[in-house]
Structure 1
Amino acid sequence: MAARPIEDQPWWEKVKQHRFIRLGLYSALALLLFLALVPSLLQEELDVEAGGIAPQDVRSPVTVENTEETERLRQEAIDSVDPVYSINPRYTENQIQRMREVFQLVRLINLEVREQNGELTTYTEEPEAAGGEPWTEEEQLEEIRSRLSPEMAESLTDETLFTLLSSSQEELETAEETTASAVADVMSDEVSLDEVEEARTQVENRVRQASVRSSLEEAMVDLSRNGITANYMIDDEATADARRAAAEMVEPSVVREGQLIAEEGQVITSEMYEQMRLAGLTDDTTTLTPLVGLGIITSLMVFVLARYFYLAKTTVRENNTHLLLLVLIFTLTIFLMFLTSLIQPLGIPGATYLVPAAVGTLLSGMLLQARIGVFLSFLFAISAGLMFNQESTSVMDYTHAVYVFFSGLAGVLFLNPTNRLAHMLQTGTWIAGISAVVITAMNVLKGMPLTAVELPMYAGFAFAGGYISIILAVGLLPFFEAGFGILSRSRLIELSNPNHPLLRKILLEAPGTYHHSVVVANLAEAACEAIGADGLLARVGAYYHDAGKTLRPQYFIENQVRMENPHDRLAPRTSAEIIIAHPYDGAEMLRKARLPKEIIDIAEQHHGTTLLKYFYFKAKEHSGSVEEMEYRYPGPRARFKESAVVGIADSVEAAVRSMESPTQEKIESLVRKIMNDRLEDGQFDECDITLKELSQVYGSICETLKGTFHSRIDYPEEKPLKPAEGE
């Protein structure tokens, strides 16, 4: 006895609709994908040390910056920049201002002395009231020094100050302008710290050219020499900018991906060892960064997959059984990739191209939908690029990624839905051929110096991988179909074979029903294809929809050939019970035969909850009071388009077959009436078929019936010729 599919398992029925089941399946897929890719990202540690010998060519698997070396180079660049000097005109202005303040202070002291001596009075004072004791020279010197800045008070001599205090206003003006002009002229040029004394000599020479008395000249020299200071100083801001620019010009010290760090047999210097350490190749470096990145990538891949299923109109969106199937297909494909990746350490050139990359896309295309296979080819390509990276200096091998993508895509684009050997071999040939072409193109694109032996070897492995994919897919297909109750196109084609035991049973025990089912199948298939539904499913469902009639074939009019109608002897209620039972008897027969659920649903739903009008009105004629529900099918009503179309085609075929002299007008009127009756009776309320689609179904059925019940030419009867005379 065959095992029941998971869809019929009680434990799965209890948990499959749980709100966390989808999250659990996606989480399991992300975890399995992460674990499968981890080994390919863990770098092989080298048992080396500074001063030792490199056991092999050592190349960096990653690009990483040597921050210490970069910082050292930047510091060298900063140290090599000399300080930036510049003339600060503010210094000249400050010095001249300080000199002028001395002259202003001298004038102020002179004014105060004259007031104190009574030489000056205000208009409010009497002359005698302003008098007082005159200031001595020492008092004047003490007063002016107390008002000068400490620096100026300390630098100017008593003789200079006394000379200025004893000078007239004209002499002070001459001295002020001369010293200010001389200091301004000298400090208009660069005056560095070591050039200050030379500048003071220059200003002294300029001042001595003035025509003043000697004592004032010395005072002017003293004042002007003190006014000279360095104005060519280090510009801190400009220096900082120059050093910052020099540091920014330094390129980071980087160990680049694929860079040869040490050749085999070469002595490992401390610099080489540091580069190996930074690249994570030594046993004293352990980094979790690649694993964190892998976790993000795998999570993102599964998230994108889930988002795609949410947006796309696929069965995986709502059906957790199909999602579980997809997770298993994905896991199986990744596992096959992982097994193939174990060939890499053997060093056989191109052997990893044997990977059956198209298995996942083939199975998803045959069991679910082709668009799912197309999307999976992207994810398989990313996984392959990360997994087959041992021969690459990069974390991802793009040759394998492109190869797996095109191989998987070919499995979807050239997939034939039948399971015939010739068709499968044709699909495998396409996959193998495209895989070989892609590998050849990638190697040529990289400019690899391949020999005349290596290139055909790579293409040969890829060609073989294509055939391995189709062999595995065809071999695994029956297990997935049986385990998940998946109704694939190949399974439908298999069920449409007239030699199937149930179809043989219908043909032999109820030949009229068999013929009726064939006509219904033709009508339903054409109508479903007109509205974009699954025509093959409708055809096969129509073949089996009346299987229950084989239990009592003589009670159905299409099987009553040259025999009395047994319903003439039965009560209407009894006849109705016999007729009403046939959809459910048939569904039970199909369940026992392990037919797919969709076929069983069509058999059970094709009459919905319609009324057996003939026996209902016959019962009303006999008894008058009859419960309508006793003469209705108990349902369920059609819940998907194919079931609804088969129900319409079933009623139409039976009605048209009973017509006398059917014409196109009569047929169209009858079809419209049957469909309107079902619509008004609510038989499509649980189905997602639209009014527009019902109109298309009407047109398709009428067109098909036009070809079936076309008018025929009435051939005249053949009359014997009149015997010739003499015969």
Structure 2
Amino acid sequence: MKKTNRIVEKFKEYRFLYVFLYAILAVVIFVALYSNVKPETLDIELFTVSDETIYAPATVEDKVETERKRQEAYDSVEDQYVLKKEITEKQVDLISSIFDTVIEVRKEEAANSDSAKPTVEEQVEKVQEKLTPSINKKIPGETFLPLLETTDDEVVLAKDAVVTVVNNVMSKEIPIVQLTEAKKQVEEELQYTSMRTEIMDSAIFLARFAITPNYVFDLTATEEQRQLAIDGVKEAQIKQGQILVEENELINREIYRKLGLVGLLDDQQSMKPFLGLGIFVLLIISGVVYFFEKKDSPISKKNNFLLLYCLIFAITILLMKIISLFQKIDYTHIGYIVPVAMGVMLVKLLLNERLAIWTSMIFAVCGSVIFNEGVTGSFNFSVGIYYLFGCLAAVLFLGEHNLRSKILQAGLFVAGVNILALTAIMLIRNGGYSNVEISSYFIMACVSGLVSSVLTIGFMPFFETGFGILSTMKLIELSNPNHPLLRKILTETPGTYHHSVMVANLSESACEAIGANGLLARVAAYYHDIGKTKRPRYFIENQMNIENPHNKLSAQLSKNIIIAHVTDGVEMLRKHKMPKEFIDIAEQHHGTTLLKYFYHQAKQSNDSIYEDEFRYPGPKPQTKEIAIISIADSVEAAVRSMANPSPEKIEKLVRSIISDRLQDHQLDECDITLKELDIIAKSFCESLKGIFHSRIEYPELTKKQKVK
């Protein structure tokens, strides 16, 4: 058995072990959640009838549908047209210039002599020469004959009439499809003017020629409107929980396409959920690594605590996974019965409260994934919230009560919080629940809390013994005066008991001042001198009204008796299976200090005596708590022996003892600093001043007062 324990202890010191444990923890989480994040696939063929109603497991974008809607929006935008006023102005100028050309030719003809007067046909040719070929192609020469043969007043009248009518008609929108109507309109309006028929015909022809579409297609505006229509189309989505196909419905191409889009077909295997799970596991492990690695603890202690944490975590996750199997038989809400608070209670009691809070959040998220059967999506947020409140309730309750008897009360408290959390969830959902459903929910909530406390009580002794964990609860139990060893000290060595209590008070306040474990120092100090119970009368604090037996013994023999109380105490503590920390404190609290009184006594009779013969065997203090108890042990004994202790004398004595320990190299093997030693000295002085404070000296009563 001892050989096995040595192998286990040696294994805990391996540096690679904590890396291996982190990897194991990551694998446990990944494997536990793998089946719950694995996408569900269906064996479905095109143009077959569905056996069940199929819902979308997640929200995804339907790009094909989105593109179709955008195309519809694009096509629905009509062509945009704009009224071009410059076209109207251009056509008015054009018709004016035509008339001006006619008038100009007429003036030239009037300026010529009668002998050289050109014919009308020649005048038409001159008009056409002054006009552009494109206009000449569209306006025949006959149109100008009536204008050239008439008087100047009629030409001006015709010009004004045509320009006015063209300007009026083209001031309105004239799309190409209404061009004929516009030309007809100018013809109708010219009919009301007082022009001769021949002039009227030419005027109508020129007016109809001038009318052209001024309401034209605007490409830029059209494209802007189409882009606005496209931007206004929201992306088409297949919503989570949306029905993709009803039971007994034919699976057509569109339905088949949507099934493939959400990843429900066998021929599609997405790696996204597994990648997401890997990142999720990495986040969890990062939090755990941060907690364990930020503490400057020995490798063996770190490995021991990490191994314990991994075991508690694995047990809790395994319970979740086993209970989740009942979801397959329509117990979709079975997750409410999981005693998940057990895990965080064990972590809080055996390891650390902050780690327990972080673990509460981890269990909440893991539980929401494991119990996602019957809900759309990968997370069952109701279970996650339920677990979070229950776990935090357990941590907060135990934060104030560290007695083992309070664990069952913590379970009842968790059950009450579970019921409140479930009530809130049901009310927020605003669903219709039958009395049977409500009763079953509340029963599961109560069972979860109570079973958590029962399992915690059951696992605690195994973990404390197997991992050598000295929990706060264990320390409080060991501080009970009814403990057999404490009763032995109290009844057999009352002086030593009082001394141990004083050392405990000094040690606890000093430890808390520098951030060490004050409770460990207090309780361990009660037991540090248990070895004195073997020979109680050989220690000065127990010599009441008796002669000092050392007066009849040699210095060598007295030294052996005094030193023996250390080994005797270690034996007694091991026999009663006390924590290793207590054994270390009993063994190291004297370090290798010198028994000065008996050394000088022996030196007087024999000069060949060496100091090493009168030193404790050690080892020297290895931790801050042991160093503080060691100094407090000497300080308490020295101050108690002072005749009239004053604050100045006490401080001088305390600092002298600490300086002596430093010069004797008794504190070389623990990681205590000079700054911390100064804080310890101040703490000791404050505590001792409160104990050995000055009192009022009452005057003696006179005889008369005594008689009275």
TM-score, normalised with respect to structure 1: 0.74
Residues 1:703 and 2:690 are matched in the alignment: yes
Supply the distance in 2 between the matched residues of 1:670 and 1:254 (Cα, whole angstroms).
80
Look up the SS of the partner of 2:549 in the other structure: coil
What do residues 214-256 of structure 1 show as CA deviations (whole Å, max 9, x unaligned)?
A: 9999887666544432122333344344444444555554433
Please point out which of 68, 82, 87 is paired with 1:86.
82
- Gaps of at least 5 residues in structure 1 are 115-135, 717-727
Supply the distance in 2 between the matched residues of 1:566 and 1:339 (Cα, whole angstroms).
72
Residues 23-34 of structure 1: matches in 2 within 5 Å? 25-34=21-30
CA positional deviation for 1:52:
4.3
Match of 2:638 in 1: 655
- 1:521–1:168 CA distance, 2 compared to 1 (3 A): farther
Please point out which of 297, 300, 321 is paired with 1:338.
321
Question: 2:31 corresponds to which letter in structure 1?
Answer: L
Does the 8 Å contact 1:555/1:567 carry over to 2? no
Residues 1:15 and 2:15 are matched in the alignment: yes
Residues 616-695 of structure 1: matches in 2 within 5 Å? 641-659=624-642, 665-666=645-646, 669-670=649-650, 673-678=653-658, 682=662, 686-687=671-672, 689=676, 691-692=678-679, 694-695=681-682
Match of 2:118 in 1: none
CA positional deviation for 1:341:
0.9
Look up the SS of the partner of 1:343 in the other structure: helix
Supply the distance in 1 between the matched residues of 2:130 and 2:571 (Cα, whole angstroms).
127
Question: 1:197 corresponds to which letter in structure 2?
Answer: T
Match of 1:565 in 2: 550
What do residues 43-74 of structure 1 show as CA deviations (whole Å, max 9, x unaligned)?
A: 44344445544434433332334333343344
CA positional deviation for 1:82:
3.1
CA positional deviation for 1:614:
4.0
Match of 1:303 in 2: 286
Residues 399-478 of structure 1: matches in 2 within 5 Å? 399-415=382-398, 422-478=405-461
Does the 8 Å contact 1:671/1:702 carry over to 2? no
Match of 2:239 in 1: 256
Does the 8 Å contact 1:527/1:701 carry over to 2? no
Look up the SS of the partner of 2:522 in the other structure: helix
Residues 1:39 and 2:39 are matched in the alignment: no
- Gaps of at least 5 residues in structure 2 are 110-121, 702-708
Does the 8 Å contact 2:58/2:262 carry over to 1? yes
CA positional deviation for 1:673:
1.6
Look up the SS of the partner of 2:14 in the other structure: helix
Does the 8 Å contact 2:634/2:657 carry over to 1? no
Residues 505-544 of structure 1: matches in 2 within 5 Å? 513=496, 516-525=499-508, 528=511, 534-544=517-527
Supply the distance in 2 between the matched residues of 1:176 and 1:314 (Cα, whole angstroms).
110
Does the 8 Å contact 2:39/2:273 carry over to 1? no
Q: Which segment drifts farther, 360-369 or 219-228?
A: 219-228
Residues 1:490 and 2:473 are matched in the alignment: yes
Q: Which segment drifts farther, 441-450 or 332-341?
A: 441-450
CA positional deviation for 1:437:
3.6
Supply the distance in 1 between the matched residues of 2:222 and 2:213 (Cα, whole angstroms).
18
Supply the distance in 2 between the matched residues of 1:185 and 1:359 (Cα, whole angstroms).
93
Residues 1:67 and 2:47 are matched in the alignment: no
- 1:333–1:104 CA distance, 2 compared to 1 (3 A): farther
CA positional deviation for 1:455:
1.5
CA positional deviation for 1:445:
3.5
Does the 8 Å contact 2:187/2:204 carry over to 1? yes
CA positional deviation for 1:365:
0.6
Match of 1:122 in 2: none
Question: 2:392 corresponds to which letter in structure 1?
Answer: L
Question: 2:62 corresponds to which letter in structure 1?
Answer: N
Supply the distance in 2 between the matched residues of 1:81 and 1:57 (Cα, whole angstroms).
39
Percent identity (aligned): 40
RMSD over aligned Cα, in angstroms? 5.4
Does the 8 Å contact 1:638/1:686 carry over to 2? no
Match of 2:172 in 1: 189
Supply the distance in 2 between the matched residues of 1:313 and 1:179 (Cα, whole angstroms).
104
Q: Which segment drifts farther, 166-175 or 669-678?
A: 166-175
CA positional deviation for 1:540:
2.5
Supply the distance in 2 between the matched residues of 1:329 and 1:667 (Cα, whole angstroms).
51
Does the 8 Å contact 2:394/2:410 carry over to 1? yes
Does the 8 Å contact 1:605/1:638 carry over to 2? yes
- 1:549–1:566 CA distance, 2 compared to 1 (3 A): farther
Supply the distance in 2 between the matched residues of 1:2 and 1:168 (Cα, whole angstroms).
141
Does the 8 Å contact 1:609/1:633 carry over to 2? yes
Supply the distance in 1 between the matched residues of 2:24 and 2:104 (Cα, whole angstroms).
96
Residues 545-564 of structure 1: matches in 2 within 5 Å? 545-546=528-529, 557-558=540-541, 562=547, 564=549
Look up the SS of the partner of 1:467 in the other structure: helix
- 1:170–1:415 CA distance, 2 compared to 1 (3 A): same
- 1:416–1:223 CA distance, 2 compared to 1 (3 A): closer
CA positional deviation for 1:309:
6.4
CA positional deviation for 1:187:
1.7
Please point out which of 171, 177, 181 is paired with 1:198.
181
